[in-house]
Amino acid sequence: MLKVSNLNVHYGVIHAIEDVSVEVNDGEIVTLIGANGAGKTTILHTITGLKKATSGNVVFDNVDLLKEEPSKIVTHGVAHVPEGRHVFVDMTVRENIEMGAYMYKKKDKDKMIAKMDEVFIKFPRLKERQNQLAGTLSGGEQQMLAVGRALMSDPQIILMDEPSMGLSPLLVQEIFSIIKEVNQQGITVLLVEQNAKMALKVANRAYVLETGKIKLSGDADELLNNDEVRKAYLGA
């Protein structure tokens, strides 16, 4: 479904991503784990067009995403939940969710309302607080809002960038159960995480990224028991 092959990305002279190939199949949860600065976020940004690649291919459903504008990529069914809970703090919760439907045309208004109901059913907390400013939400609620906003565009695949960042262990559990739930509805998930343990538990397959290169890849369960991974990322 999503195929990243031989991707190279530079920041100036720094070679941030070196020959990375990642494949995500329909219906899977695939996770990219790695330390700070390994290039996980860069890969997501390249997929959604926020960062230009030097060479390589990103193909999603036979569409070459590297040639598309970021605003067009969303319309192909790729949603991106950026790192660090990027919500619009001075807008209300409802307005934030509406922004996720920005690509809809005026005639799709019914569809938008239906989608919004869906999101509110999934996140009742957001419905309660729909007229509150997003900046006043707690960290976990903001993360839910960011996920809810991404779901508004009716994506086939959702790219999540460190959804557990800065959240309490309890909320991390909740976010991961949301990820599973989203996946069960048939949305493919590409998850970038530093919390390797949690990520490997929910994922089907995983890639371990180290300073811009894929070090290991395979079934999530296998990696969870891999000695190297355990030592480097699981602290055991």
Partner 1 sequence: MPKIMKKKYIINIIAVAMVFLLLCLLFDTGLLGRKAAYFNGLVTIGMFYTIIVCSLNLLTGYMGEFSLGHAGFMSIGAYTSAIATTLISDHAELPNIVLYLLAIVIGGLAAAIVGVLVGIPALRLSGDYLCIVTVAVAEIVRVILSNFGIPAITGSATFGKSFAGIAKVSDYHYVFITMVICITVMYCYIRSRYGRALISIREDRIAAAASGINVTKTKVMTFTISAAFAGVAGAIYAHYITTLVPTYFNFSKSSEFLAIVILGGSGSMTGSIVAAPILSALPQLISYVFPEFASYRMLIYAIVLVVVMIFKPSGLFGGKEFSLPNLLLDRNYRKKKVSLDENKA
Q: Which residues are at the interface with partner 1 (CB under 8 A)?
A: 48-50, 69-71, 73-75, 79-82, 86-91, 95, 98-100, 102-103, 132-133, 135-136, 146, 149-150, 153
Q: Which is nearer to partner 1, 80 or 205 (CB)?
A: 80
- Rounded to the nearest whole angstrom, what is the least distance from the CB of residue 127 to partner 1 in the complex? 16
User: What's the CA gap between 236 and 230, in Å, rounded?
Assistant: 5
- Rounded to the nearest whole angstrom, what is the least distance from the CB of residue 149 to partner 1 in the complex? 7
Q: Which is nearer to partner 1, 158 or 220 (CB)?
A: 158
Q: Which is nearer to partner 1, 79 or 208 (CB)?
A: 79
Helices and strands, counts by H and E, the chain: 10, 10
Distances (CA, A) of 161 to 40, 98, 118, 125, 133: 8, 21, 22, 22, 23
Q: Which is nearer to partner 1, 51 or 205 (CB)?
A: 51
- Rounded to the nearest whole angstrom, what is the least distance from the CB of residue 214 to partner 1 in the complex? 24
Q: Apex CA 184: angle with CA 183 and CA 190, to 5°? A: 15
User: What's the CA gap between 12 and 62, in Å, rounded?
Assistant: 30
What are the residues facing 15 on neighbouring strands?
Answer: 10
- Rounded to the nearest whole angstrom, what is the least distance from the CB of residue 108 to partner 1 in the complex? 12
The C-alpha torsion from 215 through 15 and 79 to 136, rounded to 10°, is: 100
Other Cβ atoms closer than 10 A to 85 = 24
Q: Which is nearer to partner 1, 166 or 169 (CB)?
A: 166
Other Cβ atoms closer than 10 A to 36 = 7
What would the DSSP string read from start to end of 18-40?
EEEEEEE-TT-EEEEEE-TTSSH
- Rounded to the nearest whole angstrom, what is the least distance from the CB of residue 133 to partner 1 in the complex? 5
- Rounded to the nearest whole angstrom, what is the least distance from the CB of residue 46 to partner 1 in the complex? 13
Q: Which is nearer to partner 1, 74 or 175 (CB)?
A: 74
